[in-house]
């Protein structure tokens, strides 16, 4: 269901569960094992989450399994989906989702749990269609979508259940980069590799500062930022950053 590889400081998780990367409890059990491995790997700074299936990033829950499950079984699966999304959003690693196929329901909830989203301009659908099944997103999709695109766009997407394309996702800020389909996979990989060369401690601290600060009063956010940056002044990476700037060379972060 998954392939995990490493390139220096970049971890690459490839979803590979035909036909649509639809998830169930077994999917999440394997996913959790990989995420724990990554979190404990001090070498990894950035993780790229992508699909090995051409037509789909992830279609969310397996509807046939969901329909045949008991309520208790479905509650367990939703709890696991929430756990995985929280592990991604709270990880000390920077997670990048590369969207190059249909990204629907729980698939989009996984994507918005990531810190950065890259997309190709291939024709595919992105959305939260749960309302069309008489349901609503339940894996963190609503608050994280609001954080990504704002209340107005998020509400319309969720209340209508209508999907958008990648160009619209880029326009409203859901996708941070939009690449031409012919070169998208390579450009996404290069983006992730370049980001992974950055200072791990500083990047993890930035992620934590955003996570804790967004939604606070400006004064409280400023105080948080001041507290967090103090932890970086005496690190090897900060010293290397200054030294490399003076010597006019590329930094070699720890």
As a whole number of angstroms, the distance between CA 25 and CA 62 comes to 10
**Residue 135: partners with Cβ closer than 8 Å, 6 or more residues away:** none
Phi, psi of 27 (to 5 degrees): -55, -45
Residues in a beta bridge with 79: none
Please tell me which residue in 32, 109, 190, 250 is annotated as part of the active site. Answer: 109
Q: How far lies 59's CA from each of 21, 121, 128, 229, 250, in Å?
A: 6, 18, 10, 39, 41
CB 184 within 8 A of CB 100: yes
CB 13 within 8 A of CB 4: yes
The DSSP code for 45 is: -
Neighbours of 181 (CB within 10 A): 14
As a whole number of angstroms, the distance between CA 45 and CA 8 comes to 9
Please tell me which residue in 130, 187, 212, 250 is annotated as part of the active site. Answer: 130
User: Is 247 part of the annotated catalytic residue set?
Assistant: no
Closest CA to 89 of 40, 147, 26: 147
Cα dihedral 31, 37, 39, 41, rounded to 10, equals -150
User: Is 130 part of the annotated catalytic residue set?
Assistant: yes
As annotated, the active-site residues are 109, 130
């Amino acid at each position: 269901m998954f392939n995990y590889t490493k390139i220096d400081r970049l971890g690459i998780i490839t979803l590979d569960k035909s036909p649509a990367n639809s998830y169930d409890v077994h999917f999440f059990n394997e996913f959790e094992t990989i995420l724990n491995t990554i979190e404990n790997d001090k070498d990894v700074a950035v993780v790229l989450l992508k699909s090995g299936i051409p037509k789909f990033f992830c279609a969310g829950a397996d509807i046939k399994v969901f329909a045949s499950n008991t309520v208790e079984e479905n509650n367990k699966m939703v709890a696991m989906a929430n756990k995985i999304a929280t592990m991604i959003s709270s990880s000390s690693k920077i997670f990048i989702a590369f969207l190059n196929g249909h990204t629907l329901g729980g698939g989009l909830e996984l994507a918005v749990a990531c810190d950065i989203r890259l997309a190709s301009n291939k024709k595919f659908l992105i959305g939260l269609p749960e309302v069309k099944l008489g349901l609503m997103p339940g894996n963190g999709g609503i608050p994280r979508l609001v954080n990504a695109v704002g209340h107005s766009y998020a509400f319309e997407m969720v209340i209508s259940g209508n999907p958008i394309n990648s160009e619209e996702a880029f326009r409203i800020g859901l996708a941070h980069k939009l690449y031409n389909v012919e070169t998208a996979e390579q450009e996404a990989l290069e983006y992730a590799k370049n980001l992974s060369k950055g200072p791990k401690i500083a990047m993890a601290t930035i992620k934590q500062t955003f996570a804790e600060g967004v939604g606070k009063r400006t004064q409280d956010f400023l105080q948080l930022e001041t507290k967090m940056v103090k932890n970086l002044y005496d690190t090897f990476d900060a010293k290397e950053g200054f030294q490399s700037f003076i010597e006019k060379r590329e930094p070699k972060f720890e």
